[in-house]
A and B are shown apart, each in its own frame.
Chain A
């Protein structure tokens, strides 16, 4: 058998697999730092908002009472 025919035989014979059932899986790991950073950012935002808004609300209420 010639080299060319052997190459054809090789690739004709291979069982092409289904990538959903075989092999190494590419795992998209989330950045582990984000799991901590997002809730922290939300907490900081809430704290800052509260620190800014609450005095304004209290001030408005006390003016109304006056």
Chain B
């Protein structure tokens, strides 16, 4: 489990990376990828409910980071900034989905995404996450997996800190019914 120190270190690394990217060093995107790829993916999946679309959001988020890193205020919440971008990208995709063609040979099966050893637990967790409302699912993902505080989650989602706490508690309580 990530300690407080790990979280601070991760935030500091991402902060430095964003500053470098803003100054033109695109190679530093690798730092963001290394620390945050799964978190970006998790946030995207919590919004979109779809593994494949979440892949797309990850790639689009990296592009947006390179385009908008100059808007990041150094020394602030780097992780929250990146995850806000990921969430907004996912929400945009949800709103403006313009799929005109689907590849019939591609499936979004959970068995394609997890190896044998993790499939049973993963299917349980997916079912539990799917039972939550969109807002509750996003809050629990941001809290548990991204390790954000309730006030940070509240800012990202445009809700009060109290509402974020209640959503989290409700989500965890509901998910326990599946385990």
Contact = CB atoms under 8 A, between A and B. Distances in A.
Contacts of B23: none
Interface residues of B, number: 43
Interface in B105-119: 106, 108, 112-115, 118
B100 A26 contact: yes
A50 B144 CA distance: 72
A1 B45 CA distance: 22
Interface in A13-38: 13-20, 22-29
B125 interface: yes
Interface stretch (B52-60, B78-86, B155-163): B52-60
A15 B53 CA distance: 13
Contacts of A18: 55, 59
Contacts, number: 103
B176 A3 contact: yes
Contact of A19 (B58, B102, B108): B58
A58 B92 CA distance: 60
A11 to B, nearest CB: 4
What class of interface size applies to chain A in its complex with B?
Answer: 20 to 34
B137 to A, nearest CB: 10
B51 A14 contact: yes
A5 B121 CA distance: 11
Contact of B140 (A7, A16, A22, A26): A7
16 contacts: A1-B121, A5-B1, A7-B140, A10-B129, A11-B39, A11-B141, A11-B145, A13-B118, A14-B38, A14-B41, A17-B51, A17-B55, A18-B55, A23-B55, A23-B56, A24-B103
